[in-house]
Amino acid sequence: MDLRLLSYFLAVFDAGSISAAARELHIGQPSLSRQIRNLERSLGISLFTVGPKASATPSAIAFAPIARDLMARAVQAEATIKSMDHNEAIRLTIAGPPTTVADVIAPFIAQSGAQGLLANIREVLPNAIYRELAQYRADLVIGSSPPPAHLEYIVVGYSPIWAQLPDDKKSVHKKEITLAEVAQYPLAIVDDNHNVRRVFDQAIAEAGLSVQIAFET
């Protein structure tokens, strides 16, 4: 598939009209229209309605994320090939939840220095972390829950769940507290976009306890 035609399609799709896209691309409107028609013929679908507005068809709306994915993979492939051609180490993109990025990934990159393998970091909510691989936005991810069955993984560490209490609570000086003790207090806790919340909720349910959620973050 001609990547140039894909870039023209995305320009029109994002600009909302062929005329606006032509101005942004600095090419003539008739020429851009011909390129869009060439793409439509190669795909066998209609991407835009006929007229000055050239509204996106349902097929175009469905095709847009596919086109973006193809363009992103082409850019990634080109960068990889150039690195190999110059005998450079392949640089990787890693994704992780914000806390994992701050506590695990960032210190590793700082220790590795400028010549490390990790060139880019993406912060993603835990419930969306494995989509970064499926959509080719990252080469590897660090998640806080097991991945889907078709993905290979290794466990790189374990992290406890921390309970922070006001100074006036009798449990404040303990190194560990039980779930039953935690359940006695109103809780400020992350929402269920975070795996730690789902793990906590499951543990509470399995213990036959209930908790009062004061607010979620």
**Average confidence (pLDDT) over 190-210:** 86
CA neighbor of 152 nearest in space, from 164, 167, 165, 141: 141
Tell me what pLDDT residue 86 has: 59
**Residues 18, 36: contact at Cβ < 8 Å?**
yes
> Distance of alpha carbon 107 from its chain centroid, rounded?
21
In terms of pLDDT, which residue wins out, 162 or 95? Answer: 95
Rounded to an integer, what distance in angstroms lies between the CA atom of residue 7 and that of residue 25? Answer: 10
pLDDT tens for residues 53-73?
A: 778 999 999 999 889 888 887
**Residues 32, 18: contact at Cβ < 8 Å?**
yes
**Average confidence (pLDDT) over 161-172:** 74
**Residues 188, 217: contact at Cβ < 8 Å?**
yes
Q: Which residue has the tokens 């060139």?
A: 119
